[in-house]
Structure 1
Amino acid sequence: MKIKIQFVTDRDNQSITEDIICLERQELSAETLGLILMEAKKITAEIQKKMVYHQIKDFVSQNRFCSCCGTARSIKGYHPLVYRTLFGRLVLKSPRVLTCQCQPQSQPHYSFSPLCSVLTTHISPELSYLEAKWASLMSYGMSAKLLEEVLPLEAHPASIFTNLQKVSTRLEAELEEEKLIFIEGCQRDWDQLPRPGTPLTISLDGGYVHAREGNNRKAGWFEVIVGKSMQEKQKPKRFGYVTDYETKPKRKLYAMLHNQGLQLNQDITFITDGGDTVRDLPLFLSPRSDHILDWFHITMRITVIKQMAKSVMGGDLPNFEKRLDRIKWFLWHGNVFKALDILESLDFELDTEVFAEGKDAKKHKKYKLYQSVDEFYKYIEANSTFIPNYGERYRYGEAVSSAVAESTVNEMVSRRMAKKQQMRWTKEGAHALLQVRAQTLNDELSDSFKRWYPKMVQSNAISLPLAA
């Protein structure tokens, strides 16, 4: 059996038929049932070439005539225009048209290319969307292999990287200008707002990524801040940035809240790890916001101190652990004053014992324990205003921990930039990837492309009629 596929073009009541491919099938088997991938790729590539050829031919013929006098303008010459699509790389024949004599000759461009005015980039919107989306979820090399596996095109990791950078730059260009205070209006204006939605809980946390600077592949680490906004019966939203690269981080957090329909009379709870990089980030975003130090980070630090004390405290260990438990109990109930009082006494006792030896203090077996206690004291003191009554919040079913943020670090950073993908990143590359990855995980990337390209249609939004 032979199956012939043809391409038919109807123009001005005339039909042009061109052969695409002729398929042959002999004995039926599971391997030969229907189209195979190689045939499908060849068919779509050929259809793409012929369809683009006729589209450009009609477009050039329509735009060759002067819009003022209707005279056919002369063609100065042709130049190749490379255009990458989902179904292959095309080299288009783009003409340069001379301006009409009826136009003033003092114009800055005596000739122009009608095709370049439409195809402003060298990649189709759909291919740009797929490359950006897949590269945000897997490595650039894997994205290129997958695209080549299922589509009739040649994909290169460097091209995918460049495209993702451009998409990220365009996403960031849409953000508002950075402000110190995003709160607008007064209490009277807020009271007149409609009834707000359910409260928002935003968890912020940091992670670390292997750094690379030029050819130096051992440049250490740099910090990444990620956050997730949770709302009852709503999909969570995420955002992220590189701390040493992003100079306007507050607007990113505000954009995420704005996308969830934030109102200035809506309750918001920010839960952070108390680090210097995130402590001031959520300030002045909403008049009805609470800022809470994550309970998980408090208990984690106390657990570390307990483990260190087991090897150096000896007979004083039971008393030391008892005092740590009291500190934990006071902090759980929001009594920061009592907790700091006990911490200060512990810090003083260890300081006296360690530094009694003078220059050999760093060799003392309790020196590292002293450092941990002293650091914990400063940590609680710096975040004292963000420590509520955790017990009361827990009994009322309110959030006390940023465990959600811990999972967001894994979701936004670790799965793509660490773990099995042990590659090193520049700050610029990691920051750009985080912007696109956040949009992908938030199901917002397709909406952004539809906003940039209004005529772009997703496959699930259209049903094609069959030929009669």
Structure 2
Amino acid sequence: MKIVVRVELITDWGDVNTIEVGRIDRPSQTLDPKSVGLLLADGKQLLHNLQQAVIPAQADDICCLRWICRRCHQWTALKDYRRRKVDTVFGTVSFRSPRVVSCACEPPWYSETAFCPLWPIVPEWATPELSALQAKLAAQMTYRRVVEIMREFLPVSEKINHVTVRNRTLRVGTRIDAIELPGAQPRNPTTEWTLAIDGGFVRGKGKAETRNQELRNSHRTSCRAGEEAARLRVCAKRVAGSDRTARFDCPDARRDLSPTTLGNHRRCQRDPKHLSPAPV
């Protein structure tokens, strides 16, 4: 059996374009339990190919509407094309972005400007659905685990990493904090704080070193969006296999740990004993 998946893209003015998005072979003579129905890899590839066809078609439709001057209704001159990329739930899509010459009837007169049709709609070069999904998963697990889960079940780009997930999650949180609910009382930044807790694991350097250490780091920031108050950082060190835990304040933990940040469960390559003001 051969499965051929084709789609028809119909524009608002009636143009029809048929595209083949996938072809799957399922020979009946060699059928086994692993080849019954569609596999997860088949679905990921089909959705990725379909997304590769839909977004460029949408970009071309928007370009056709924007190439006409809104004042004199004349076609504007086309300079050339450039490649743009947008991240979606079904992978990263590359498409052509035109560079047009502005019309003579409106400023800037005869100026060559780069025009991306999807930039006003997707200004962050990532769809809102992707940002919301990453923020939702990041609220329940670590950033690196989010990347692993998305690579397992979705046809996302291989270039996606935990830093991208973290930055998008923080932007989503900033937008949520900036929303003023009707009837809500303003929060006092001097009495209300946000506490973030993170941790890391430090292994012994030598082969004979069997003592492993677990570090936990917490910092406190103001609840107001865009405002960062005085930070209170607390570090905790615990030796593996022991219930003894030592806690100590580290006001300059950001400076000391900047080369090897503990955030997102990275391994700290520095000796944590230097951060403690007293033996632990």
Bin for the TM-score computed over the shorter chain: 0.5 to 0.7
- Is the contact between residue 103 and residue 109 of structure 2 (CA under 8 Å) also seen in structure 1? no
Amino-acid identity (%): 21
TM-score (norm. length: structure 2): 0.63
Task: Say which of 222, 226, 235 aligns to 1:246.
Answer: 222
Structure 2 letter corresponding to 1:209:
I
Structure with more relative contact order (C-alpha pairs < 8 Å, separation 6 or more) = 1
Q: Residue in 1 aligned with 2:24? A: 23
Q: Residue in 2 aligned with 1:172? A: 177
Q: Choose between structure 1 and 2: higher strand proportion.
A: 2
d(CA) in 2 for partners of 1:33, 1:105: 60
**Would the alpha carbon gap of residues 103 and 137 (structure 1) be closer, same or farther in structure 2, given more than 3 Å must change?**
same
**Would the alpha carbon gap of residues 31 and 218 (structure 1) be closer, same or farther in structure 2, given more than 3 Å must change?**
closer
d(CA) in 1 for partners of 2:215, 2:156: 36
Q: Residue in 1 aligned with 2:80? A: 77
Structure 1 letter corresponding to 2:169:
L
3-state SS of 1:117 partner: coil
Structure 2 letter corresponding to 1:111:
T
d(CA) in 1 for partners of 2:82, 2:224: 42
Matches for 1:282-293 after TM superposition, within 5 Å: none
Query: Is 1:156–2:161 an aligned residue pair?
Result: yes
d(CA) in 1 for partners of 2:199, 2:48: 40
Q: C-alpha displacement at 1:114, in angstroms?
A: 4.5
Query: Is 1:7–2:10 an aligned residue pair?
Result: no
**Would the alpha carbon gap of residues 72 and 31 (structure 1) be closer, same or farther in structure 2, given more than 3 Å must change?**
same
Q: Residue in 2 aligned with 1:46? A: 49
TM-score (norm. length: structure 1): 0.39
d(CA) in 2 for partners of 1:130, 1:208: 21
d(CA) in 1 for partners of 2:216, 2:199: 5
Q: C-alpha displacement at 1:10, in angstroms?
A: 2.6
3-state SS of 1:46 partner: helix
Q: C-alpha displacement at 1:425, in angstroms?
A: 4.1
Q: C-alpha displacement at 1:73, in angstroms?
A: 0.8
Q: Residue in 2 aligned with 1:111? A: 113
Structure 1: tracts of 5 or more residues without a match: 181-203, 224-241, 250-276, 278-422, 427-468
Matches for 1:101-250 after TM superposition, within 5 Å: 101-105=104-108, 111-115=113-117, 116-154=119-157, 155-175=160-180, 177-179=186-188, 209=197, 221-222=217-218, 242=220, 245-246=221-222, 248=224
3-state SS of 1:122 partner: coil
**Which portions of structure 1, spanning 4 or more consecutive aligned residues, are displaced by more than 6 angstroms?**
217-220
d(CA) in 2 for partners of 1:114, 1:84: 15
Structure 1 letter corresponding to 2:82:
H
Q: Choose between structure 1 and 2: higher helix proportion.
A: 1
Q: C-alpha displacement at 1:21, in angstroms?
A: 1.8
Q: Residue in 2 aligned with 1:94? A: 97
- Is the contact between residue 69 and residue 103 of structure 2 (CA under 8 Å) also seen in structure 1? yes
d(CA) in 2 for partners of 1:105, 1:5: 46
Task: Render the CA deviation track for 1:284-325: whole Å, top value 9, x for unaligned.
Answer: xxxxxxxxxxxxxxxxxxxxxxxxxxxxxxxxxxxxxxxxxx
- RMSD (CA atoms): 3.5
Q: C-alpha displacement at 1:141, in angstroms?
A: 0.9
d(CA) in 1 for partners of 2:41, 2:216: 45
**Would the alpha carbon gap of residues 424 and 72 (structure 1) be closer, same or farther in structure 2, given more than 3 Å must change?**
same
Task: Say which of 62, 66, 71 aligns to 2:65.
Answer: 62
d(CA) in 2 for partners of 1:42, 1:149: 13
Structure 2 letter corresponding to 1:2:
K
- Is the contact between residue 51 and residue 93 of structure 2 (CA under 8 Å) also seen in structure 1? no
Structure 1 letter corresponding to 2:153:
V
3-state SS of 2:35 partner: coil
Structure 2 letter corresponding to 1:21:
G
3-state SS of 2:5 partner: strand
